[in-house]
Chain A
Amino acid sequence: MTRRSLRLSKFHVHHWILAALMSIVAFESTSSFAADQKSVSGQAAANRLFTLKVLPLLKVKCFGCHGIDSEDIRGDYDLMTREKMFKGGESEEPPVVSGKPKDSPLYQAILWDGMEMPPKENDRLTKEETEYFRQWIAAGAPWPSAADQLQIQKREWSVRENEDGVIVNTSGGLADDWTYRRYQPEDTWAFQPVKRPDIPAGAKNPVDAFVAKRLAAAGLQPATDADARTMIRRATYDLIGLPPSPQEIDEFNKAWSQDAQQAWSNLVDRLLKNDHYGERQAQHWLDIVRYADTSGFSNDYERSNAWRYRDYVIRSFNKDKPFNEFAMEQIAGDELRPDDPEALIATGLLRMGPWGTQMIPQKESRQIYLDDLVHNVGQAFLSMPMRCCKCHDHKFDPLPTKDYYRMYAAFATTQPAERQAGFLPAENRNSFAEKRELVRELLDYATSEQAKIQNKQEAAAKKWYEEHDLPYKNENARKKDTEEKKPPRHVGLTYEEKGMKKVREQDVWIWARRMERYLPMAQAVYNGQDDFKNGRKLREPKQINKQWRPENFILAGGSLEAPLESVKPGVLSAAGLPINQDGDSPFQITDALNGRRLAFAKWITDDRNPLTARSFVNRIWQSHFGIGLVKTANSFGAKGSKPSHPELLDWLTSDFIEHGWKIKRLHRLIMSSATYRRSAKPANTKTQTTVDPDNKLLASFPSRRLTAEELRDSALLVSGELNREMGGVPIMPEINLEVALQPRMIQFSIAPAHQPSRTPAERNRRTIYAYRVRGQADPFLEIMNQPNPNESCEIRDSASVSPQAFTLMNSDVMTDRSIGFALRVQKEQPDDTAEWIRQSVQIAYGRMPTQEEQTSLQDYLKEMQSYHKAHKPEEVKYPTQVTRSLVEEFTGEPFEFIEKLNVYENYVPDAKPWTVDADVRALADVCLLLLNSNEFLYIY
């Protein structure tokens, strides 16, 4: 190994020509270009290598810092011509030695050997790419003229497929290099048409046939079948997100012992018909589309009717609405069936992203809205994150930036608004009057507090006008008067009152917005002109300019200030599914004011679209196995994962399409496989973890932890507190009281406290109905890895972190569940403590305790009984108001005000430690441990 020192400027280590150390390693040849190696010695081949391989890499990876900007050339090393490349920069050493790659520092640098060029991980050259440079230098580093280059390129571009890959037809990139670049077919698998492969012989169920083929190839023995209890628990959680009851387990065991096959298919049918199925499936979809009841950004404005979209999703799954129809409604329901409230509610999808207008120029906030739609519609339906090609042609996928802006144009007439949409019979409007009354009280309070301050100010203003001998004008009327002609701002108010004025004004519109929950409105969209928008209140304009057509451009670097060529609405060309027969613009859709989204949605849901059905089938697979056939469910591009069983994915997809995009059928198909019914225990753990550590081949069933929602729902279910009522305005669960009352800043004030719903029945409902606030997560759910609703979540994290233990062992929420659980058990068997243990274990685990567990828990119970006789809990009172303190914006002085917590005035708490006796508290300790235990938290 030779080492050479070069001059080094400490802060330019990444300017490759200034590297301190360079080492040389022996070269290993593994190049796919190896076949060409002999001919590379020929001048023509070397010219070709340079033009097609080396120069494009130089352009993409090097010229940015070493050429394009002649004012700022890093390390003073310009690579744009052969002469300059050979001459070098600040270094005294020649960077390229013709014929001798190993003596060429440039080559060493791109190997990241000593020197590291290009300096970013993302830009680093692959082995194959560095090999092009090696061969080119070895062949004398020729640099053909521009004309010769063009000739070489043209010849190359006329061949669609060669050993370097395939040219994918698209609407074209910003440069020919991109348009004619080649892809490895495996990198563009998702864009290729869905094929219907033959089912391999040897298994009845097609799923098993494909899975068995790969297992056999890997030499892996599949695990044995799981037992009945494991299977009913697995299926029940997968389909409805709740555990089976002991009775259900019992009945299933009996049926299974008579006819396992029949029992299983009856079970799956029963679960698919259960209304909780829709809730569980909707949770997956809401993760992807980022459901929340507020808008995020500085004010986190409430989206008062978002709940209707949530319920629409649940209803759709329960009805087994075909996925193509489901997709179509969400993208273009308003255009599809303008008079159908259901279709209008469905477009809530286009309102799901965090979005605000505060302190952002209108043009930019409009761009943010449309960028968000393009990226998230692409991600949700096509598993194609689109953000990457907003600024440039996609680096790895056949997505030209032109297609990004075509899709952008497809949404460019879409405007967000709260629209009128009559209530449907299916929607839950229980206790609307009562709930509205609680909001009304808060609105009245805020209004009267605001009036007090306003009146005081105006009294002072009147006095001022009198003193100045001028006629009184109200606050609005005098706004434009010059300062001599009107009283000072906030006249007559103390600084506390100044601050309070803002707080109460804010409160008034917060509660006024919340009243709209109970109105027949929907967070939806309409088609119309761009006009001024305030995120606080979005309504349709009085007049829609039917002639209005937005002009859309490719934006260089995504900047509104840098429009390039103009684009018309269209679809993604790489999918190879033209919209019309027009030879010039086969991927263009209508550019009328209306109908753009409908045309786009039709393309998305076309049976021949290679992306949509694959994407969704993969998500359903993931809902059963924890990981999809493609691990990156939101990203089917070259940088996403490749399918573990490509043929299986295609077979399932074609079957799905052929049978009308029906989702329940797909569940049945997957669940009827032996693959789904395997035990989680590998046939041979050691072999399997060596051969297939990530269990991609599914030799055994992948276990998983309960999600945050499943955990809360299950705890409520076993404690007997769960109210199974479906749908309706968001519920407010009890959350950690400190968090509920902790002040949360919004633009000019503090957001209202989290007040739980008044009665246990109202709040102890399934988590999917819980109010989802972007600015404040429920700490219990958050700690159990509920995703942040600002980004689409393709897969749940389940990392174990210590704060989870605090929450699950110590929180009031869990203490209350354990008390509820204990009361339930004790009610069934008042005096028999041995029976208490048996019952609790059976309810929590769905099995009887072992003798050891029985003894050990009974001993523990006894110990806790005597502990609790000696330790009495204190009662915790709920506050009916809270004092807020805020720093007044203008003066920097702190001031205080009162926030009313009216729900607590007539609150019905859950059973609490101080409302039960020592025996119940002791049993609750046992129950708490069961709820904390791994057996309760994991599904096998």
Chain B
Amino acid sequence: MATISRRDFLYGLGSSLGALALTDLQAAEKKAVGPLAPKQTMHDPKAKAVIMLFMEGGPSQADTFDPKPELSRLHLSESKRTAGLAGGKRFYVGSPFKSRKVGNAGIDMSDQWKFLADPEVADELCVYRGCKAESLNHPEALLHMNTGSRLGGDPGLGAWTTYGLGSENQNLPGYVVMTELALPQAGPANWTNGFLPAHYQGTRLRSTGSPILDLKPPKFKSREHQRKALDQLAILNANHAEQHPEHEELNARMESYELAYRMQMSVPGIIDIDSEPEHTQKAYGLERKETSAFGRQCLMARRLVEEGVRFVQIFSGGWDSHDYLEKGHSSRINSVDQPIAALIKDLKNRGMLEDTLVVWTGEFGRTPDNNYRGGVTALGRGHNADAMNMWFAGGGTKRGTMVGATDEIAAAAVEVVHPIRDVHITMLHLLGLDDNKLTYFHAGRYKQLSQFGGELIPELIA
């Protein structure tokens, strides 16, 4: 034992990560140092990183970015639509909000968006109104948008992305998820590694308490205490490894402890947004009660991407306005409007927007009409899988455009209509990945994010 020093042992014996399943893609990447080492793209990428802003509950297209005057005309008149689930008498619901065209590009926006309407921000947006979801139920629809499969158990978008591209910073997780205090429906299945190796699962940066579970030892153990413990553990493990030179996994496991130790330093640094200048904190709305939570997460997202994190996802809950649409949606929009606008400006000013793809979406759209709830005229909207709206900014998407359209009451997508998988394929494409080639052999077939392939949405790409 005396002939091998601890550091020799940790770094000298190569860095194989033994437990990886060998698939085609990985076989080609054997030279890479670890599973998260940066990998070659499949074609020239437009985007290097993704920030996905997920409005859980299903934001209403007609009350955000797809205004429909016809709906106001029909307000409270009887609806004969039969789509969707709710039975019984139905009536149309006009938008409680006014709409206007903003920026030089004339993007449609309800008047609740005050910060996003700033031309400097609005002209960066590429609003897409042609997407069709499939499920009417929150968890399945969330899983569909986040993993490409309604059933759960498939890898999340960020898992596929880090599997394909690795990550630029080995001291931070490559795929970071931030949620509200309550997890979204279907929970961690939204950011699971699924059948991909565990290295690709999303790491949740928690908004309160420890940012990563058990990141730090209990308070009565200091950092020096931890260092000593790890050194002593390395001695135990080195003795053991000497007995088992045939066993490669031992190195990987020892390395994971050292990486953990480095992460203990790097993670708190990243999330310490107090170190940001006051004007930045203010811009993101940190001093406003309504916006501080989402604002912190948006600011964190920028810092993470700046440090080389590949995929950041932030969930905002409460968009499921079956009733009291006016109050519900205005309060939700108010909570994200300023932070999102600040994020886009900030990315732009730092020259990061060009290669950072920002995506704003929910799991499905909402209906133009509503049913009587509890026998009462409820001014809200049901779930709608036939129409929704989402938007992109940066990362090689077309600036200042509106792509696709819904019918005159925003009930169904009618132009540039694509299923969710095509949105996924387009996102991968922007990242320099080809959905048909980004495959993993599992359970008898090559699995891919889109399940069975699909097409690009060229209209979204600059």
Contacts and interface: CB of A to CB of B under 8 A. Distances in A.
A800 B253 contact: yes
Contacts of A481: 375
Contact of A738 (B20, B187, B209, B255): B209
Contacts of B246: 680-682, 685, 700
Nearest to A14: B436
B85 A680 contact: no
Interface string B342-374: 000000000000000000000000000000011
B444 interface: yes
Interface string A784-803: 01001011000001111111
A890 interface: yes
Contacts of B182: 742-745, 750, 886
B5 interface: no
Contact of B185 (A385, A745, A893): A745
Contacts of B222: 871
Contacts of B273: none
B283 interface: no
B374 to A, nearest CB: 5
Contact of A815 (B218, B233, B328): B218
B239 A873 contact: no
Nearest to B217: A810
B99 interface: no
Contacts of A872: 220
Interface string A900-940: 00000000000001000000010001001110111101101
Contacts of B249: 705, 798, 800, 938
A632 B444 CA distance: 9
Contacts of B1: 852
B214 A799 contact: no
A385 B328 CA distance: 45
Q: Which of A742, A750, A811 has the most CB of B within 10 A?
A: A742
Interface residues of B, number: 105
Nearest to A850: B239
A822 to B, nearest CB: 14
A122 B444 contact: no
Contact of A892 (B318, B374, B448): B318
Contact of B136 (A360, A744, A892): A360
A806 B437 CA distance: 35
A305 interface: no
A807 interface: yes
Nearest to A685: B246
Nearest to A486: B375
Nearest to B438: A121
B158 to A, nearest CB: 15
B280 interface: no
B45 interface: no
Contacts of A871: 220-222, 225
B220 A874 contact: yes
B188 A807 contact: no
A385 B20 CA distance: 24
B252 interface: yes
A587 to B, nearest CB: 23
A745 B184 contact: yes
Contacts of B214: 736, 806-807, 809-811
- The range of chain A's interface size is 35 or more
A797 B197 contact: yes
Interface stretch (A38-46, A252-260, A771-779): A771-779
B215 A790 contact: no
B229 A893 contact: no
Contact of B331 (A637, A775, A805, A892): A892
B270 interface: no
A785 B187 CA distance: 17
B376 A483 contact: yes
A254 to B, nearest CB: 23
Nearest to A775: B187
B322 A890 contact: yes
A889 interface: yes
Interface string B266-278: 0000000000000
Contacts of A682: 246
A295 B395 CA distance: 40
A634 B444 CA distance: 10
B185 A396 contact: no
B181 interface: yes
B250 A892 contact: no
A853 B137 contact: no
A812 B210 CA distance: 13
Interface string A233-271: 000000000000000000000000000000000000000
A739 B320 CA distance: 25
B206 interface: yes
B80 interface: no
Given A775-B187, A929-B229, A891 B331 contact: yes
B444 A935 contact: no
Nearest to A741: B209
A715 B272 CA distance: 35
B139 interface: yes
A794 to B, nearest CB: 9
Contacts of A788: 152-153, 189, 192
A385 B443 CA distance: 8
A913 to B, nearest CB: 6
B323 to A, nearest CB: 4
Contacts of B210: 738
A553 interface: no
Contacts of A637: 444
A120 interface: yes
Interface in B407-462: 436-437, 439, 443-446, 448, 452-453, 456, 458, 461
B10 to A, nearest CB: 13
A620 B244 CA distance: 26
A790 B151 CA distance: 9
Given A685-B246, A744-B182, A635 B376 contact: no
Contacts of B330: 892
B81 interface: no
Contacts of A790: 151-153, 189
Given A800-B252, A934-B237, A935-B240, A809 B320 contact: no
A933 B237 contact: yes
Contacts of A10: 458
A824 to B, nearest CB: 20
A791 B225 CA distance: 41
Given A856-B232, A929-B236, A119 B215 contact: no
B226 A797 contact: no
A164 interface: no
Contacts of A119: 436, 453
A84 interface: no
Given A120-B436, A396-B444, A797 B139 contact: no
Interface in A700-745: 700, 703, 705, 736, 738-739, 742-745
Contact of A852 (B239, B254, B448): B239
Interface stretch (B122-130, B257-265, B294-302): B257-265
A655 to B, nearest CB: 28
B198 interface: yes
A159 interface: no
Contacts of A798: 19, 249
A385 B322 CA distance: 40
A790 B139 CA distance: 13
- Can you list the 3 inter-chain pairs with the closest CB atoms, starting with the nearest? A639-B444, A892-B328, A887-B318
30 contacts: A297-B140, A298-B185, A358-B137, A388-B445, A632-B444, A638-B444, A680-B247, A685-B245, A743-B182, A743-B183, A750-B182, A776-B187, A797-B19, A802-B260, A805-B256, A806-B214, A809-B217, A812-B218, A871-B221, A873-B219, A885-B181, A887-B318, A890-B321, A891-B331, A892-B324, A892-B327, A892-B330, A921-B220, A929-B236, A935-B240
Given A890-B378, A938-B250, 9 more contacts: A119-B436, A360-B136, A639-B445, A800-B17, A801-B201, A815-B218, A852-B239, A886-B182, A892-B331
